[in-house]
Every structure is written in structure tokens, then in C-alpha cells.
């Protein structure tokens, strides 16, 4: 092996710059010679000592950037141990409390004790009940195994019951490597409640695979124990089957028979007493061979020669620059050395030289934040799918967050809700980048500034909500006045018709007013005055409402960010048609008022009154249609069953009740302002995952006769 190596040899191409440096030195000297010749002085052209020194400084810096290394040290990676897969029973019978605190928690604690004693073993985790699931593939990261173990609960699989064969087959076929046969162990922790195929099939499968089996039986094998569960109200009850309380016992005889039928199989009956699984496994694996992987696996570390070269270059540069130009020389040297300390790209961009990444960066710089965010998101998805490095993936996610952050800054004034939504999305992306690449300093810096921005946006959204609430209150007051006016106008028309009963009877089958009407009713002049005055009051109220609507339209249209919110449709457009209808209603009221003074025109007056009533009702219907287009409605049992059976990814809450077009879709809905840490986000996701698992398990539990 070479004692000296250049780790980044491509930097040596910079040595080509020595020739231009030499040419510039000679050109400068020639110009000095020509200038002196004109002044009557003649000297030979010669490169001074300090020029040579500067060239050597340049060469030394190039070699420093190329990471000249010496004194290599090789570190070998060797592992010894066996492949161990913990097969954990998570059926509801493991909730029995005959072992402290429960059988399941005792088994999980036993696995933790066993992990504490492992050194080089590869460990996996498979959980099972009516079906099986891989909780963790083979890994030497015991902390990750402990984390996945902490997520295990009785609904970690989708079916109830207990089916050991499924877990054994999944462990052998999908977790263990057949090339390491003879160095693999299965540790099954169960109470033996097996409602599936018998132990003969399990033993036969283990025999064919060459896997060693250690069965750990947990629970009371004599009197058994009841199974506590939670009902829909969250109360603790005992599990019943066909009206009888279920008692679960440790099936020690069946488990012992399974271990006996399996080559190199052992059964450890721990019962209800505390046990140390690490000591049990140590005894089990004591006589078994361990595999050791030395080979050529490892890595080489060189000592950096740059720490020796750079001080020499610094001394030479100070010497060549002299005392007068020392400051300038030091500054130039500092600029040259600035790149030598870079060990990796600041944001991972230099490692992502793909065209799509560069295009996304150009869009980000050109202000195309939406396109840039989409491009970075697709790039991050491709990297995650292809298993790219965490540095590159974190860089793509960070730049996606940056695009959404810039978008939020642009929308901050015109649309605080959209800006806040974009800021929340950017915050989630920054959390994701922090999880992918711990210690990403740029993420923490952006999170601090983003928190301040979100606080400002929250205040703006609150102000907008307050304005919208005031607008809604004004609209509600307007509709109440229109409703009252419509009711009063309808009542007046009914009174006119009731007094004019004789004409109405005579003209029932006649389309036009008869030229020779019957005699007028009694006290017609008194009624005419009353009707005219009453109609005048209604007309005055209609004109007041019309002026109020004009004031509202002017007030609403002043807020351009709301008036032009969605596809150019705003509050100004919504009030335009009601204003036209209100004008027609007032016109009809005025015509009716002029005709009610004379009895012979009452029939025509009623027509104009009907027109006014219809226009007022049209206004109410228009607002009601806006409000009821996305109403809640009522759900029957069939609708609810379809909702439960639907794919959760396809169920989108897009029909929430809103106040018509005054609430422009979800943009007008109040948004929660999250202030979560990375731990909070992980805990929330963990809870959501457990909830989804539990719901699927409950849905399938009805298909299992014995769901424990």
C-alpha cells in the first residue's frame, strides 16, 4: 500500500495555472523594463526571488486542496455472532396479567434484556397474531430494534387470533438469509394459544430450514387468566366469547412438543415469574458455532498533509509580500485557503449534478417557486426510491422547503392564508430534512426565522378572520331585513286580495281586468289609503336596504385581495346580482304604491306586489343556494359503511359546511398554527400508525372465530 496518496487528484489540474502565472510575471517585468528604458535606465529582465516564492505558494495550495495524505491506517470491520430473530406473539391473550404487568410487556422486557447482552449478533423482529408482520429486518442497530419493539401492541397485525406458522414462514423466507444456514436462531415468545395449523407443520418447516428454535412460554398453565380489554367507552372489561368469560392458559405441553420435534429445539417455561431472556439464550447458544466476518471489509484513514503544507505556504506568502503588503497577502491567502476546509457541500447541491436539480435551482432563483418546489419534491422522491445518500436527499428536501418558504414570503401580504399554508408545509419539510440528516445547521437557522414568519402570518390570518366575521354578520343582518320585508310585502298583498274578494271571484277565469268591474267593496277609500301608506313604508324599507347593499358592495370591493381571490370571483360579483334584483323589487313596490290609491287598479297593483315579492325571494334563494351547496346533509348507515370501507387516501374532506361563496373553499378556513418539535411529529405519526393498525385489526376481527 502506498504511504502517500492524493485523495482528490482532480485538483491537480489547477497546476496548469503555473504556466499563465509564469507568463504574467514575464509580461509584467517586460513592461517595467520598457518604462525604465524610456526614462534612460537599462536593466536586465529577471524574475525576482519573491516571484518564485509566490509560484511555490500556489503549488503548495493546490496540493493542499488535492488532500495529500500520508501514514495510512486501516480499520477492519469484523463481526461475530449469530442471526437472531425474535418472534413475538401479540395476540390479545398476551394481555393477560398473570405475568407482570402483562404477558406481552414481560416478553418485550425479556427481548430488551437479551439485546443488552448482544455484541455482534444480527437481530430481527417478527410479530404475529392471526397474521404476521416484520417489525424489523436483520440489523446490528439495537437502538432501532428497541424503538420498533416499543411500538408493538396487540393490534400491530391486521387479524386477530394466533397463527404461529405464518410467523415462522415469514421469518425463514423473508428475514433470514439461506446462505447463513446453521448460524440462525428463532426465539419465539408466546403463551401457546395457537388457533391455526398444528405444531407438526411448524416443526417440519423449521427442520427443512435448518434454523434453531428456542421457545419461551409465558403465562399460567394451571388456572389461566382472564383477558382485559377496553370497550368503546374506554372502560376496562374482560373478554367474552359466546357470553362466557375467556380464560387463557399457557399451553406448555404443546410448546414443549414443538421444541421436541424441532432439531436443536429447546423450550423454556418461565411461567409467571420474572426471567432474564439474555441468560436463557446464552445457555441455548453456548455450544453453537458463531460466524465471523473478517475478510477485506474495512476502511483506511490517512493523515492530512495539508496541516503541514498550509503553514509553510502561509510563511512563504508573508515573506514574499513583505511588511508593507502583509495585510493584503494574508487576505489573499485566506481567500485561497477558504475552500480547503470544505469536507462536503453545504446543502448537498454539488453532489447532485443532475439536470433536474440544476433546473430546479434556476427556477428557484428566477422566482418560479411553485415549479421549483414540485421539481425538488420529485427529485427527493427519486432519491429516496433509488436509495441515494442522506446528504443528497436532505439537500433536495431542504431546497423544496426553501421554495415553499419563498412562496410564503411572496404571498404574505396579498394572501396570508395561502402564505401560512405554504409556511406550514415548509416547516414540515424542514423537520423531515432534520430527521434525514441530523445536525443540518441550515435547517435550524431556517426554522428559527420561519417561526417568526408564521407568528406574523397567524396575526394576519386572525385579522382577516375578524373582518370576515364582521362581513358575515352584516350579510346576516341584511338577509334578516330582506326576509322581514318579504314577509311584510306578502302580508300586504294578502290583505289587498282579501278586501278585493268580489273582483277576484268575478275575474278568476279572466286574464285581463274587466272594463266593467263590479261595485267596489265597503270602505274602499279607507282601505286604499291604508294600503298606500303601508306600501309606501315597505318601499322606503326596500330603498334603505338597497342603499345598504350598495354600501356593503363598496366596502367589500375595497379589499382587492378578497374581491379577486378565486378565478376573479369575489364579494363584489356576488352582490351584483342581488342589487339588480333589489332594484326591480323597489321598482315593483313603487308601481304598486301608485296604483293602490284607486280601487280599480288594485288588481294590477297586486301584480307589481307579486313581482316585488318574487324578486325579494330570488335574493334569499340566491344566498341560500350559496350557503347550502356544500351543506352537511345527513348520513345514513349505508353512507357511513361506504365511508369506512373506502381507501383513506381517497377520502378527502372537501365538503365541509361553509358560508357560501363568501368562504372561498378551504383557503378561507381557519388554519391551525403548529409549533411542533421533531419529537412531537414522530410521536404524532407513531400514534396515527397505531390507530390505523387498530382500525384494520378491528375490521377484520369479526372474520376470526377466536380473536385472542
DSSP string for residues in 606-671:
HHHHHHHHHHHHHHHHHHHHHHHTT------HHHHHHHHHS-GGG---------GGGS-GGGGSPP
pLDDT in tens, 186-212: 999 998 876 555 678 888 888 888 899
What integer is the mean pLDDT of 60-89?
78
> Comparing 139-143, 223-227, 354-358, 418-422, which segment has the lowest mean pLDDT?
354-358
Query: In whole angstroms, what is the distance from residue 137 CA to residue 125 CA?
Result: 7
* Integer CA distances (angstroms), 509 to 502, 504, 506, 514, in order: 13, 9, 8, 11
Query: Going along 58-114, which residue ranges are E strands?
Result: 68-76, 79-81, 83-89
pLDDT of residue 29: 75
Q: Judge whether 226 lies within some domain.
A: yes
Tell me, yes or no, whether 142 and 279 share the same domain: yes
Highest mean pLDDT among 511-515, 538-542, 670-674, 682-686: 538-542
**DSSP H/E element including 484:** helix 441-499
What integer is the mean pLDDT of 557-568?
48
Q: How many residues does the chain have?
A: 708
Of the residues 595, 628, 661, which one is the last residue of a structural domain? 628
Round the average pLDDT of the chain to a whole number and report it.
Answer: 75
Tell me, yes or no, whether 430 and 474 share the same domain: no
CATH of the domain at 618: 1.20.120
Q: Could you tell me which of 129, 133, 200, 209 has the C-alpha nearest to residue 163?
A: 129
The residue with greater pLDDT, 241 or 296, is 241
pLDDT in tens, 119-172: 878 999 999 887 888 999 999 889 999 999 998 887 677 655 567 888 898 999
pLDDT in tens, 376-422: 888 888 888 888 888 888 888 888 888 888 888 888 877 888 888 88
Q: Judge whether 705 lies within some domain.
A: no
* Cell numbers linked to 707: 380473536
Of the residues 593, 628, 663, which one is the last residue of a structural domain? 628
pLDDT of residue 145: 93
Q: Judge whether 642 lies within some domain.
A: no
Three-class secondary structure of residue 271 per DSSP: strand
The residue with greater pLDDT, 654 or 486, is 486
**In whole angstroms, what separates CA 36 from the centre of its chain?**
74
Query: In whole angstroms, what is the distance from residue 628 CA to residue 571 CA?
Result: 17
pLDDT in tens, 444-476: 788 878 888 888 888 888 888 888 888 888 888
What integer is the mean pLDDT of 104-117?
93
Tell me, yes or no, whether 428 and 399 share the same domain: yes
Tell me, yes or no, whether 483 and 597 share the same domain: yes
Of the residues 628, 661, 688, which one is the last residue of a structural domain? 628
pLDDT of residue 112: 94
How confident is residue 511, by pLDDT bands cut at 50, 70 and 90? Answer: very low
Q: Could you tell me which of 77, 71, 75 has the C-alpha nearest to residue 1?
A: 71
pLDDT in tens, 593-607: 888 888 888 888 888
Phi, psi at 174, each rounded to 5°:
-115, -20
Tell me, yes or no, whether 231 and 363 share the same domain: no
Q: Judge whether 83 lies within some domain.
A: yes
pTM: 0.39
Cis ω on the peptide bond leading into residue 101 (within 30° of 0)? Answer: yes
pLDDT of residue 36: 62
pLDDT in tens, 274-318: 899 999 998 998 888 776 554 445 556 777 877 788 888 788 877
Instruction: State yes or no: pLDDT of 637 exceeds 70.
Output: no
CATH of the domain at 236: 3.40.50.410
Q: Give counts: helices (H), strands (E), the chain.
A: 22, 17
Q: Judge whether 677 lies within some domain.
A: no
Tell me, yes or no, whether 377 and 500 share the same domain: no
Query: In whole angstroms, what is the distance from residue 49 CA to residue 46 CA?
Result: 9
Tell me, yes or no, whether 191 and 212 share the same domain: yes
For residue 543, give its domain range: 464-508+520-628
pLDDT of residue 303: 78
Q: Judge whether 515 lies within some domain.
A: no
* Cell numbers linked to 616: 325579494
Q: Judge whether 310 lies within some domain.
A: yes
How confident is residue 683, by pLDDT bands cut at 50, 70 and 90? Answer: low
Number of domains making up the chain? 4
In the block, cell 387463557 appears at 248
Instruction: State yes or no: pLDDT of 260 exceeds 50.
Output: yes
pLDDT of residue 244: 86
Tell me, yes or no, whether 261 and 181 share the same domain: yes
Tell me, yes or no, whether 71 and 85 share the same domain: no
Beta bridge partners, 143, equal none
Three-class secondary structure of residue 383 per DSSP: helix
Q: Judge whether 636 lies within some domain.
A: no
Tell me, yes or no, whether 107 and 205 share the same domain: yes
Tell me, yes or no, whether 39 and 86 share the same domain: no
Tell me, yes or no, whether 72 and 83 share the same domain: no
Contact yes or no for 480/548 (Cβ under 8 A): no
Amino acid at each position: 500500500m502506498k504511504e502517500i496518496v492524493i485523495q482528490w487528484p482532480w485538483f491537480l489540474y489547477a497546476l496548469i495555472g503555473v504556466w499563465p502565472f509564469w507568463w504574467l510575471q514575464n509580461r509584467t517585468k517586460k513592461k517595467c523594463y520598457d518604462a525604465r528604458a524610456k526614462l534612460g535606465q537599462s536593466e536586465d529582465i529577471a524574475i525576482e526571488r519573491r516571484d518564485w516564492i509566490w509560484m511555490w505558494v500556489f503549488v503548495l495550495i493546490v496540493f493542499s486542496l488535492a488532500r495529500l495524505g500520508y501514514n495510512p491506517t486501516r480499520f477492519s470491520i469484523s463481526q461475530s455472532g449469530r442471526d437472531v430473530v425474535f418472534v413475538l406473539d401479540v395476540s390479545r391473550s398476551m394481555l393477560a396479567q398473570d405475568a407482570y404487568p402483562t404477558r406481552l410487556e414481560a416478553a418485550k422486557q425479556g427481548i430488551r434484556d437479551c439485546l443488552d447482552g448482544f455484541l455482534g449478533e444480527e437481530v430481527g423482529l417478527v410479530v404475529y397474531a392471526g397474521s404476521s408482520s416484520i417489525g424489523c429486518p436483520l440489523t446490528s442497530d439495537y437502538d432501532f430494534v428497541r424503538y420498533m419493539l416499543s411500538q408493538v401492541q396487540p393490534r400491530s397485525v391486521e387479524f386477530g387470533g394466533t397463527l404461529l406458522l405464518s410467523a415462522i414462514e415469514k421469518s425463514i423466507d423473508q428475514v433470514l438469509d439461506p446462505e447463513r444456514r446453521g448460524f440462525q436462531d428463532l426465539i419465539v415468545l408466546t403463551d401457546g394459544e395457537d388457533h391455526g395449523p398444528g405444531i407438526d407443520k411448524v416443526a417440519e418447516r423449521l427442520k427443512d430450514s435448518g434454523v434453531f428454535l428456542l421457545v419461551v412460554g409465558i403465562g399460567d398453565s394451571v388456572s389461566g387468566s382472564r383477558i382485559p380489554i377496553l370497550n368503546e367507552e374506554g372502560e376496562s372489561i374482560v373478554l367474552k366469547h359466546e357470553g362466557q368469560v375467556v380464560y387463557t392458559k399457557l399451553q406448555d405441553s404443546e410448546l414443549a412438543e414443538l421444541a421436541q420435534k424441532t432439531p436443536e429445539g429447546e423450550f423454556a417455561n418461565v411461567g409467571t415469574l420474572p426471567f432474564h431472556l439474555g441468560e436463557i439464550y446464552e445457555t441455548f447458544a453456548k455450544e453453537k458455532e458463531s460466524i465471523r466476518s473478517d475478510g477485506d471489509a474495512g476502511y483506511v484513514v490517512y493523515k492530512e498533509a495539508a496541516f503541514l503544507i498550509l503553514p509553510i505556504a502561509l510563511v512563504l506568502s508573508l515573506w514574499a509580500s513583505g511588511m508593507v503588503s502583509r495585510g493584503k497577502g494574508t487576505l489573499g491567502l485566506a481567500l485561497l485557503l477558504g475552500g480547503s476546509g470544505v469536507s462536503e457541500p453545504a446543502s448537498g447541491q454539488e453532489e447532485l449534478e443532475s439536470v433536474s436539480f440544476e433546473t430546479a435551482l434556476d427556477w428557484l432563483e428566477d422566482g418560479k417557486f411553485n415549479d421549483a418546489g414540485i421539481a425538488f419534491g420529485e427529485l427527493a422522491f427519486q432519491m429516496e426510491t433509488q436509495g441515494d445518500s442522506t446528504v443528497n436527499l436532505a439537500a433536495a428536501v431542504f431546497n423544496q422547503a426553501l421554495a415553499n418558504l419563498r412562496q410564503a414570503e411572496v404571498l404574505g401580504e396579498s394572501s396570508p392564508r395561502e402564505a401560512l399554508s405554504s409556511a406550514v408545509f415548509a416547516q414540515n419539510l424542514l423537520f423531515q430534512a432534520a430527521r434525514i440528516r441530523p445536525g443540518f445547521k441550515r435547517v435550524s437557522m431556517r426554522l428559527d426565522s420561519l417561526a417568526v414568519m408564521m407568528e406574523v402570518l397567524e396575526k394576519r390570518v386572525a385579522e382577516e378572520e375578524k373582518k370576515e366575521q364582521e362581513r358575515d354578520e352584516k350579510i346576516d343582518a341584511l338577509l334578516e331585513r330582506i326576509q322581514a320585508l318579504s314577509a311584510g310585502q306578502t302580508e300586504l298583498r294578502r290583505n289587498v286580495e282579501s278586501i278585493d274578494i268580489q273582483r277576484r271571484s268575478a275575474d278568476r277565469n279572466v286574464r285581463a281586468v274587466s272594463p266593467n268591474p263590479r261595485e267596489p267593496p265597503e270602505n274602499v277609500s279607507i282601505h286604499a289609503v291604508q294600503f298606500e301608506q303601508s306600501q309606501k313604508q315597505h318601499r322606503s324599507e326596500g330603498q334603505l336596504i338597497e342603499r345598504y347593499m350598495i354600501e356593503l358592495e363598496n366596502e367589500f370591493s375595497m379589499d382587492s385581495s378578497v374581491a379577486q381571490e378565486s378565478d376573479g370571483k369575489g364579494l363584489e360579483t356576488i352582490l351584483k346580482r342581488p342589487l339588480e334584483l333589489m332594484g326591480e323589487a323597489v321598482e315593483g313596490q313603487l308601481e304598486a304604491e301608485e296604483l293602490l290609491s284607486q280601487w280599480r287598479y288594485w288588481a294590477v297593483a297586486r301584480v307589481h306586489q307579486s313581482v316585488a315579492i318574487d324578486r325579494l325571494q330570488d335574493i334569499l334563494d340566491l344566498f341560500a343556494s350559496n350557503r347550502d351547496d356544500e351543506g352537511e346533509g345527513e348520513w345514513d348507515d349505508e353512507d357511513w359503511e361506504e365511508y369506512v370501507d373506502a381507501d383513506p387516501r381517497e377520502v378527502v374532506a372537501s365538503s365541509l359546511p361553509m358560508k357560501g361563496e363568501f368562504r372561498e373553499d378551504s383557503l378561507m378556513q381557519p388554519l391551525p398554527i403548529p409549533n411542533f418539535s421533531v419529537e412531537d411529529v414522530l410521536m404524532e405519526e407513531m400514534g396515527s400508525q397505531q390507530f390505523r393498525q387498530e382500525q384494520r385489526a378491528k375490521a377484520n376481527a369479526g372474520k376470526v372465530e377466536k380473536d385472542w
